[in-house]
């Protein structure tokens, strides 16, 4: 059904501008269907080519997506500022919200004591001339990454993982270029790829990471970049194993045309070893965010890579945002160096692992196969997402529909365990099993 928003305009620019206004004001909600090209053209008394051009421009900017016979719809999170509530509807009142993919705030280190200590020793303000990557942070990051097998000679700092990935993609690719992404994969990355006007190629994921066949196919289809989540893949929890890393390294070796990006957002929270691909291609980057172990509001990630790739990211930042505040960099360094914080992060990792494993075991006991080797999410394949999400909501649980995370992968729901109390594991698993049970055909009596 078409959305009840009157799109106006007689030129392609005016029509696309009108759609953008609708999205910005919330009149065109995420997922809303736009009229068919011919229908809108007739309504506005313009040629179908004019409307088609407007839709194409909106598609290239990542505001809408066209999916064959489903027509053109507003993307789940289009890149224009709108009220967040319009982009991610709040969980149904009275439900336990397991849809958010956030770390448990109770398990994030308190910042107060570190900010107070920093205030006491911070010294004179840093100015334009001297601000840069904080040398002590870079040294500590190099050491931590080297211990995990990442050859981190060149390092820069970005405002989180996604900022780093955006800078990498923008520096290496041009609109229309293809980028291989995990499918299902991180919703925010899919939104970013669309907003940059890039073409996503979905690479299937199993519990060991992106499949070899999937990466081979993506390369054959002309992917110019590949983004791999090292551990705690979102939404499936996959982690790249030693065997998979070996196979992918062999496949990627000698591909001077491919930018390889690794996203290790689980970082210190991960309970499995890192098997990096870093260095398999001449152009590579390894991004490690502090969001999950230390808090998303710190907005900081370290980015290692080959000299040219790091220079492109750092050089472009220098003519734009400049740098990530050295105050923030010093705060992260203080967190890294504090043994009590390390212990808290370790406990958080154990707590997520325990709740995840208990949920997987309870689901398995109820005959529900699910995935979640690492991280804070469990991915449950379902026959139909709307039915599963609605049935779970009615039973008191809000979970995320898999549509946000997939391109061609099968349907599923994502359940975040960070907000799940251990006492709720079995009731939740029972509710999932009930939600997936085929409904008894009406009118049938035994």
Ligand X SMILES: Cc1ncc(COP(=O)(O)O)c(C=O)c1O
CB of 309 to ligand X, least distance (A): 18
Q: Does 161 bind ligand X (CB under 6 A)?
A: yes
Only segment of 8-16, 19-27, 156-164, 389-397 that touches ligand X (CB under 6 A): 156-164
What track of x and - describes contact with ligand X for positions 87 through 126 (by CB under 6 A)? --------------x-------------------------
Q: Does 289 bind ligand X (CB under 6 A)?
A: yes
CB of 228 to ligand X, least distance (A): 10
Only segment of 160-168, 217-225, 254-262, 324-332 that touches ligand X (CB under 6 A): 160-168
Tell me the number of residues near ligand X by CB under 6 A: 13
Of the pair 281, 289, the CB lying nearest ligand X is at 289
Of the pair 160, 200, the CB lying nearest ligand X is at 160
The answer to whether 345 and 109 have CB atoms below 8 angstroms apart is yes
Of the pair 53, 265, the CB lying nearest ligand X is at 265
Of the pair 50, 418, the CB lying nearest ligand X is at 418
Q: Does 432 bind ligand X (CB under 6 A)?
A: no
Q: Does 160 bind ligand X (CB under 6 A)?
A: yes
What track of x and - describes contact with ligand X for positions 292 through 321 (by CB under 6 A)? ----x----x--------------------
Measuring CA to CA, how many Å separate 106 from each of 72, 98, 102, 265, 345? 41, 15, 11, 19, 11
Q: Does 265 bind ligand X (CB under 6 A)?
A: yes
Nearest residue to 323 (alpha-carbon basis) of 110, 175, 157:
157
CB of 289 to ligand X, least distance (A): 3
CB of 157 to ligand X, least distance (A): 12
Alpha-carbon distance of 341 to 17, in angstroms, equals 49
Only segment of 14-22, 54-62, 159-167, 242-250 that touches ligand X (CB under 6 A): 159-167
Nearest residue to 199 (alpha-carbon basis) of 227, 168, 175, 183:
175
The answer to whether 82 and 24 have CB atoms below 8 angstroms apart is yes
CB of 170 to ligand X, least distance (A): 15
Nearest residue to 10 (alpha-carbon basis) of 32, 34, 40:
40
Of the pair 289, 329, the CB lying nearest ligand X is at 289
Of 12, 234, 329, 416, the one binding ligand X (CB under 6 A) is: 234
Q: Does 230 bind ligand X (CB under 6 A)?
A: no
Measuring CA to CA, how many Å separate 21 from each of 29, 45, 53, 238, 308? 11, 20, 17, 39, 40
CB of 96 to ligand X, least distance (A): 20
Of 57, 183, 263, 353, the one binding ligand X (CB under 6 A) is: 263
Q: Does 335 bind ligand X (CB under 6 A)?
A: no
CB atoms within 10 A of CB 383: 10
Only segment of 24-32, 207-215, 242-250, 288-296 that touches ligand X (CB under 6 A): 288-296
Alpha-carbon distance of 354 to 214, in angstroms, equals 31
- Interface ranges with ligand X (CB under 6 A): 101, 160-162, 186, 229, 234, 263, 265, 289, 291, 296, 301
């Amino acid at each position: 059904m078409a959305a009840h928003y009157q799109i106006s305009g007689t030129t392609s620019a005016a029509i696309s501008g009108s759609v953008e206004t609708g999205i910005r004001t919330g009149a065109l909600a995420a997922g809303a269907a736009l009229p068919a090209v011919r229908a809108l053209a007739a309504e506005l008394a313009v040629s179908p080519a004019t409307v088609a051009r407007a839709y194409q421009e909106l598609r290239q900017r990542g505001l809408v997506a066209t999916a064959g016979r489903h027509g053109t719809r507003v993307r789940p999170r289009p890149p224009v500022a709108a009220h967040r509530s319009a982009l991610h509807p709040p969980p149904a009142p009275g439900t336990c919200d397991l849809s958010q993919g956030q770390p448990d705030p109770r398990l994030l280190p308190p910042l107060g004591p570190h900010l107070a200590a920093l205030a006491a020793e911070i010294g004179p303000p840093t100015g334009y001339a001297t601000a840069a990557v904080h040398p002590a942070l870079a040294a500590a990051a190099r050491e931590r990454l080297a211990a995990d097998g990442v050859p981190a000679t060149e390092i820069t700092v970005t405002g989180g993982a996604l900022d780093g990935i955006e800078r990498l993609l923008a520096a290496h690719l041009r609109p229309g270029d293809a980028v291989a992404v995990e499918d299902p994969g991180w919703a925010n990355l899919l939104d970013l790829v669309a907003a940059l006007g890039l073409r996503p190629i979905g690479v299937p994921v199993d519990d060991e990471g992106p499949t070899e066949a999937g990466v081979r196919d993506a390369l054959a289809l002309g992917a110019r970049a590949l983004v791999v989540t090292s551990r705690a893949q979102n939404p499936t929890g996959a982690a790249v194993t030693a065997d998979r890393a070996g196979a992918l390294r062999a496949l990627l070796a000698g591909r001077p045309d491919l930018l390889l990006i690794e996203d290790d957002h689980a970082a210190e929270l991960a309970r499995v070893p890192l098997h990096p691909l870093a260095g398999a291609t001449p152009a590579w980057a390894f991004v490690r965010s502090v969001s999950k172990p230390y808090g998303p509001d710190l907005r900081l990630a370290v980015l290692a890579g080959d000299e040219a790739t790091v220079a492109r990211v750092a050089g472009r930042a220098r003519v734009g945002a400049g740098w990530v505040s050295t105050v923030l960099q010093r705060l992260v360094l203080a967190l890294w160096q504090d043994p009590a914080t390390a212990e808290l992060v370790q406990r958080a990792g154990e707590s997520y692992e325990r709740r995840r494993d208990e949920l997987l075991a309870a689901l398995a006991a109820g005959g529900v196969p699910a995935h979640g080797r690492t991280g804070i999410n469990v991915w449950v394949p379902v026959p139909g997402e709307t039915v599963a999400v609605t049935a779970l909501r009615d039973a008191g649980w809000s979970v995320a529909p898999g549509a946000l995370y997939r391109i061609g992968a099968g349907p599923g729901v994502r359940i975040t365990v960070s907000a799940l109390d251990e006492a709720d594991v079995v009731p939740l698993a029972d509710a999932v099993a009930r939600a997936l049970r085929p409904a008894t055909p009406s009118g049938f009596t035994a």
